[in-house]
């Protein structure tokens, strides 16, 4: 492998994985795949945010199997029919295999769901569930940037001024820490903010406010961690999201923070989620007990690690 930056390696790895991917469930699962209650909670929030928008749009970034879209639309059709009637649901995804799977699952909502190849101008809600973690990062430590050559790490002088500005702005100053810098996250957030005339951006992902001492880049294959992150084998490669960066740079783009909370607190603040949880807890059937276990996974195993950020643009 010729000399290339870790950023370029991760970018190529991610594009390779998602261009070939036909089912995300083979390597990892997301909260929407665990239970409809997650999508219902997001749908409940969407109904509150968009109830006064005359022409409402939801744009979902990287829709996976389409499960979250299906559950949100099912919730709105049942509990918020007026919003459902005027709503357009857009999906931005670059995996052809996943788009085909989404179309099959969302056949019940034909004429309501549309796929886009670029972010359009609109008013409404941008929905991002485990999207930003897929964007590639640069790794910098002690004034040097990580490169790879023949599978070996090579540290070269850090010359990118944007990376330096990012690190300075976010207080990344410890010499012995290998910081992960996601300029693509910032740039894409800026693109979303420019195209969003008025509305909200909801970001759900695993991440942090203060960068941990250990790096966060990992690979997943068959629901297991990949031991050799520099392997040539295809696998899902991700990095935890720096939510402080999204909030800090969001101010530059006219985005105001409405709330930032753990996934557990977000779900427990949802009336419909609590109702679903209570109903399952009172049912002692094997199916209910299995479902209760999945709901607990959302609240306990994923509840602290995953964060939920809601930003607003306009009044």
Residue 23 has phi, psi (to 5 degrees) of -160, 110
Residue given tokens 């690190």 in the structure block: 167
| Alpha carbon 269 to chain centroid, angstroms | 20
| Rounded Cα gap, residues 222 and 86, in angstroms | 40
| Alpha carbon 94 to chain centroid, angstroms | 15
Q: According to the model, what pLDDT value does residue 226 have? A: 78
pTM more than 0.85:
yes
Looking at per-residue pLDDT, the higher value among 129 and 284 belongs to: 129
- At 3-22, the pLDDT tens digits run 999 999 999 988 887 766 65
β partners of residue 4: 148
Instruction: Please determine, for residue 308, whether its predicted confidence score (pLDDT) is greater than 80.
Output: yes
Judge whether 161 and 15 are in contact, CB under 8 Å.
no
Which CATH number is 24-133+182-213+235-313 given? 3.40.50.12710
| Rounded Cα gap, residues 162 and 165, in angstroms | 5
Q: According to the model, what pLDDT value does residue 22 have? A: 59
- At 117-164, the pLDDT tens digits run 999 999 999 999 999 999 999 999 999 999 999 889 999 999 999 999
Positive/negative CA dihedral, 208, 189, 69, 52? positive
């Amino acid at each position: 492998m010729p000399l290339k930056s870790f950023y370029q390696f991760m970018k190529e790895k991610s594009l390779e994985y998602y261009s070939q991917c036909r089912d995300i469930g083979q390597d990892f699962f997301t909260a929407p795949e665990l239970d409809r209650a997650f999508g219902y909670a997001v749908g409940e929030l969407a109904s509150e945010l968009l109830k006064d928008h005359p022409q409402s749009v939801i744009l979902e970034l990287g829709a996976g199997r389409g499960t979250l879209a299906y559950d949100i639309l099912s919730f709105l059709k049942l509990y918020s029919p007026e919003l459902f009637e005027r709503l357009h649901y857009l999906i931005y995804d670059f995996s052809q295999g996943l788009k085909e799977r989404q179309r099959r699952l969302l056949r019940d909502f034909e004429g309501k769901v549309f796929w886009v190849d670029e972010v359009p101008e609109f008013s409404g809600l941008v929905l991002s569930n485990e999207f930003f973690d897929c964007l590639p990062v640069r790794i910098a430590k002690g004034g040097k940037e990580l490169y790879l050559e023949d599978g070996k790490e090579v540290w070269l002088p850090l010359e990118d001024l944007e990376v330096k500005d990012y690190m300075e702005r976010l207080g990344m100053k410890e010499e012995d820490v290998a910081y992960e810098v996601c300029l693509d996250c910032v740039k894409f957030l800026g693109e979303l903010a420019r195209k969003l005339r008025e509305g909200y951006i909801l970001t759900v992902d695993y991440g942090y406010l203060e960068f941990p001492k250990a790096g966060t880049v990992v690979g997943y294959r068959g629901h297991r961690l990949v031991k050799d992150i520099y392997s040539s084998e295809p696998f899902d490669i991700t990095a935890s999201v720096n939510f402080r960066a999204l909030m800090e740079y969001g101010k530059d783009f006219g985005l105001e923070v409405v709330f930032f909370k753990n996934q557990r607190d977000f779900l427990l603040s949802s009336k419909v989620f609590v109702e679903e949880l209570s109903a399952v807890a009172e049912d002692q059937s094997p199916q209910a007990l299995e479902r209760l276990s999945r709901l607990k996974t959302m609240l306990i195993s994923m509840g602290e690690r995953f964060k939920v950020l809601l930003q607003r643009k306009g009044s």
